[in-house]
């Protein structure tokens, strides 16, 4: 159901997992969530501790995707979560564990800091964890309906490449991905443009990211064209992506513990609130998570909310370009899912609050005079904490971690470690989610360490590979003509 469903409509607006898989927003503009969170028992957790990642993913997805036959779902997770797909594990990590843990430090006072690697997939960032499954789910769902889908989006880096690597070679799917011409790093450009698959279309727009994003909006607003060309998206509000991310919170907890009375906290480098939203859902399902700590960079919309109860989105001019660029967001697109729970699953309240975001740039749940509500006092009940990390903090953390533990972490993970250290508690294991490998953000690594980040095998000469892309002006009609010519629809 939708986070904006009127109470009277809630019961009748239920939809199946497969129906919302290929859709985006609910018709009322809200985000999809289940009518209630499926619960896990202690016995299930015990049994799951020994499972492979793929089998664990099957058990968890089964609780949400109730309309996909068991055997099909098992085949889909088995095909997705393999050591061949998530092969970029560091030395000392087992690729077969898919999201291996590495203990960084155990304090004398009983604190423990652990890294969970989520970036061993094809594009070296955590978005592969969900996107690879999405590619297989899409192909499966489309084949059943004998349908096709043309994914159309804009990227400044990680999401676009994760989508292309998930959809390449998939039957019934094409990807049209816009990016700002000559504005991505050489590594990111090479990753995307070196794909030669006939169903992948890289379009470099003469302009900045916002120009590319505006073109996506303009084309998507032409509803007849969108329907005719079977256009869809894979952005971070996609419900199946969020569900797929729930799995690694279970894997992290189960791998870090030996019994269910042990508590674990997670620190999550956050931007659009998609990753940590999955942690919230895992906790609501009954996973014994103590704290969920949102780590932001200088773009601290989320940190501000979790400190004060005020959600104040930023304008473009107030959104900084930082050295952890995948967290440079001014408006957290999945935040509405958490607020819906926070206000007692009241769709009318949620709708009013997020309409106020559009009209007044935010809302205030601090409970102070004139505020929109006082639910901020409930936030602690959901385990949320937060912190912020700056460019200077990132450089220092990358240096510290290299010196102390001999591994090189990326800039986003550095934000996570910095904030995690401020939130360690005796007797509670703190897991930091590693959201990218350092090779993707080499410029900052070079600044911090004076040497290049190591590249996983196969990425050594990626910039030298032949590239396939077209350059286009930001012209909506030309874009439509290009799409139609290539879909033949
Ligand atoms: C996307 C991304 C994030 C932010 O994740 P959200 O789900 O948007 O909060 C953090 N780090 C990296 C490397 C990313 O690619």
Report whether residue 326 contacts ligand 1, using a CB cutoff of 6 Å: yes
Which atom of ligand 1 is found nearest the CA of 275? Answer: 7
Report whether residue 267 contacts ligand 1, using a CB cutoff of 6 Å: no
**Phi-psi group of 223: left, alpha or beta (phi > 0 → left; psi -120 to 50 → alpha; rest → beta):** alpha
pLDDT band at 369 (very low <50, low <70, confident <90, very high): very high
Question: Strands 264-269 and 112-117: what pairing?
Answer: unpaired
Report whether residue 441 contacts ligand 1, using a CB cutoff of 6 Å: no
By most ligand atoms within 8 Å of CB, the mutation choice from 121, 270, 332 for ligand 1 is 270
pLDDT at position 221 over 90: no
CA 46 to ligand 1 centroid distance, Å? 30
Report whether residue 323 contacts ligand 1, using a CB cutoff of 6 Å: no
Which atom of ligand 1 is found nearest the CA of 440? Answer: 13
CA 387 to ligand 1 centroid distance, Å? 16
Highest mean pLDDT among 87-91, 154-158, 434-438: 434-438
- 95-124+243-449 classified as CATH 3.30.70.330: no
Q: At what angle do helices 239-256 and 53-62 cross, to 10 degrees?
A: 130
Residue of minimum CA distance from atom 1 in ligand 1: 326
CA 375 to ligand 1 centroid distance, Å? 26
Report whether residue 275 contacts ligand 1, using a CB cutoff of 6 Å: yes
Identify whether 127 is a catalytic site residue.
Answer: yes
By most ligand atoms within 8 Å of CB, the mutation choice from 327, 389, 417 for ligand 1 is 327
CA 327 to ligand 1 centroid distance, Å? 6
What is residue 189's predicted lDDT score, i.e. its pLDDT? Answer: 92
Lowest mean pLDDT among 19-23, 335-339, 465-469, 472-476: 19-23
Residue-by-residue DSSP string for 203-243: EEESS-HHHHHHHHHHHHH-HHHHHHTTEE---TT-HHHHH
Report whether residue 273 contacts ligand 1, using a CB cutoff of 6 Å: yes
The closest alpha carbon to 354, from 31, 35, 23, belongs to 31
Report whether residue 309 contacts ligand 1, using a CB cutoff of 6 Å: no
The closest alpha carbon to 456, from 161, 97, 121, 96, belongs to 121
- Phi, psi (degrees; rounded to nearest 5) at 152: -130, 125
- Side-chain half-sphere exposure of 416, counting CA atoms within 13 A: 28
CA 83 to ligand 1 centroid distance, Å? 23
Average pLDDT, the chain: 93
Residue 439 makes CB contacts below 8 A (sequence gap 6+) with 124, 187, 453, 454, 455, 456, 459
Mean pLDDT confidence for 453-478: 94
DSSP-based helix, strand, coil % in the chain, nearest 5: 45, 15, 40
From the list 112, 127, 230, 291, the catalytic residue is 127
Q: Specify the length of the chain in residues.
A: 489
Cα–Cα distance between 428 and 288 in angstroms, integer? 11
By most ligand atoms within 8 Å of CB, the mutation choice from 156, 249, 412, 453 for ligand 1 is 412
What is residue 322's predicted lDDT score, i.e. its pLDDT? Answer: 92
Mean pLDDT confidence for 282-309: 97
* DSSP bridge pairs for 175: 151, 200
pLDDT band at 234 (very low <50, low <70, confident <90, very high): confident
What is residue 209's predicted lDDT score, i.e. its pLDDT? Answer: 80
Q: What is the dihedral of CA 219, 223, 226, 230, to 10 degrees?
A: 160
The closest alpha carbon to 210, from 176, 179, 186, 238, belongs to 179
Report whether residue 236 contacts ligand 1, using a CB cutoff of 6 Å: yes
Cβ atoms of residues 187 and 199 within 8 Å: no
pLDDT at position 11 over 50: no
Residue range 99-128, pLDDT digits in tens: 999 999 999 899 999 999 999 999 999 999
* Alpha helix positions (H), 285-390: 301-308, 335-342, 347-360
This prediction has a pTM of: 0.95
**Greatest Cα-to-Cα distance within the chain, rounded to the nearest angstrom:** 65
């Amino acid at each position: 159901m939708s986070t904006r469903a009127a109470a009277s409509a809630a019961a009748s607006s239920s939809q199946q997992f497969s129906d919302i898989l290929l859709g985006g927003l609910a018709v009322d503009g809200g985000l999809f969530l289940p009518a209630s969170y499926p619960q896990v028992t202690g016995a299930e957790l015990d049994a799951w501790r020994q499972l492979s990642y793929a089998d664990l993913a099957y058990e968890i997805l089964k609780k949400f995707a109730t309309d996909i036959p068991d055997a099909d779902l098992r085949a889909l997770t088995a095909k997705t979560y393999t050591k061949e797909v998530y092969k970029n594990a560091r030395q000392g990590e087992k690729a077969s564990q898919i999201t291996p843990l590495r203990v960084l430090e155990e304090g004398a006072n009983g604190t423990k800091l652990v890294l969970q690697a989520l970036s061993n997939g094809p594009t070296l960032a955590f978005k592969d964890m969900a996107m690879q499954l999405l590619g297989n789910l899409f192909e499966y769902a489309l084949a059943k309906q004998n349908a096709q889908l043309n994914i159309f989006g804009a990227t400044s880096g990680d999401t676009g490449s994760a989508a292309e690597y998930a959809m390449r070679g998939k039957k019934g799917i094409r990807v049209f991905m816009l990016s700002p011409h000559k504005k991505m790093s050489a590594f990111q450009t090479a990753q995307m443009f070196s794909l030669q698959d006939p169903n992948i279309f890289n379009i470099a727009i003469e302009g900045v990211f916002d120009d590319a994003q505006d073109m996506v909006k303009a084309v998507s607003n032409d509803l007849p064209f969108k329907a005719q060309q079977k256009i869809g998206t894979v952005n971070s509000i996609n419900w199946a992506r969020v569900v797929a991310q729930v799995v690694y919170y279970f894997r992290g907890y189960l791998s870090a513990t030996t019994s269910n009375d042990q508590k674990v906290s997670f620190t999550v480098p956050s931007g659009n609130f998609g990753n940590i939203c999955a942690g919230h859902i895992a906790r609501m399902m009954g996973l014994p998570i103590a704290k969920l700590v949102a780590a932001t960079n200088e773009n601290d919309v989320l940190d501000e909310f979790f400190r004060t109860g005020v959600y104040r989105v930023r304008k473009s001019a107030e959104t900084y370009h930082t050295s952890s660029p995948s967290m440079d967001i001014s408006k957290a697109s999945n935040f509405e899912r958490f607020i819906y729970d926070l206000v007692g699953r009241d769709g009318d309240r949620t709708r009013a609050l997020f309409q106020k975001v559009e009209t007044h740039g935010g809302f205030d749940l601090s409970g102070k005079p004139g505020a929109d509500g006082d639910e901020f006092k409930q936030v602690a009940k959901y385990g949320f904490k937060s912190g912020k990390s700056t460019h200077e903090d990132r450089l220092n953390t990358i240096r510290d971690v290299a010196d102390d533990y001999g591994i090189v972490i990326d800039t986003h993970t550095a934000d996570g470690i910095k904030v995690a250290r401020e939130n360690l508690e005796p007797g509670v294991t703190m897991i930091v989610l590693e959201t990218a490998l350092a090779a993707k953000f080499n410029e900052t690594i070079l600044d911090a360490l004076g040497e290049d980040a190591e590249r996983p095998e196969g990425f050594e000469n990626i910039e030298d590979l032949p590239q396939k892309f077209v350059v286009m002006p930001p012209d909506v009609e030309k874009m439509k003509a290009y799409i139609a010519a290539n879909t033949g629809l």
